[in-house]
Amino acid sequence: MLLPWLNYDQDFALKTFLTLCNKDLRMTLGHSAYYFFNTGFEGKYQSDFINLILRMLDSSFEDIQKEAARQVFARWFFDDLFQVQLDKIMQGDEKHRKGVASVMAQLLQENKYQDRFHKLPSIYAHLVNDDSKEVLRIVGNCVGNENFWNSVISAEIFNIFVNSKAAEVCLYELFDALEKHGGSLLDYHAQLLQLVNNLTSSDGSTNEMQDIHIRESSLIKILQRLYDEATDDENNDVINTCLDIWDKLLRSEVYSAINASKELEGGLLS
């Protein structure tokens, strides 16, 4: 009900929102509350909104704490605030990191605010190596979004992703995105080799990889496409990389790689 007042009497809207939230912090979870936060940090009520977020962090309600973490990360990203609180959140509870991860995912899947993306890689690196599989999935699934590959930091964060825990959790999303990628895959040959090395070198990886048939098949499709592109381009370095990856898969006794080798005798294996 209060939201339209942001257009008619912004001062009244912000003061009333703050009053409501300070009486009951659950008001900060309202469906359109982010409009008030976004507007409030642009003017004279910024200090009041800072204090409100600090109160939210100390709430006994988990959802409010999670929203507070989202706001801390957003205000750090947009307004250069809450550096101390963000550092604590990244070392704190899972519910806080899930809040940060949800905002990170939103940013990476939208083609906006690219001028501020230089701030993201350090936080991204922490999130994709989190101990929580839920956090890994929230931020790792972004690799399947087209805007992940179009951002100004795509090369940097893809290098981080390949060597992260999230890569193992989100393999399907990665290979599916590469399979649908409209451009050349030649730029990614080194990262693919590194990813296969990571997967086949970790403890218990052989048994795990033998059980993920869909993801293996996607990898083999990507590998064949990469090899074909390298052959057309007469790029011997990438051709050798493809053969190295294939050899690594075979030596790890990945079933689908062994099975697919029968079908590829005229291509990759010729």
Say if 252 falls within a structural domain: yes
Structural domain of 213: 170-270
Give the pair of three-digit tokens for residue 220: 């083999």
In a domain, residue 159? The reply is no
- Cα(120)–Cα(118) distance, integer angstroms: 6
Least confident interval from 41-50, 69-78, 245-254: 245-254
Q: Is residue 130 part of a domain?
A: no
Would 30 be classed as within a structural domain?
A: no
Q: Tell me if 236 is assigned to some domain.
A: yes
How much is the pTM? 0.85
- Residue 34 belongs to a domain: no
pLDDT tens for residues 139-187? 999 999 999 999 999 999 999 999 999 998 898 888 888 888 878 888 8
* Residue 215, pLDDT above cutoff 90: no
| Domain count for the chain | 1
> Is 118 part of any domain?
no
Average pLDDT, the chain: 87
Tell me the two tokens of residue 17: 């929102």
Identify whether 128 is part of a domain.
no
SS3 call for 77: helix
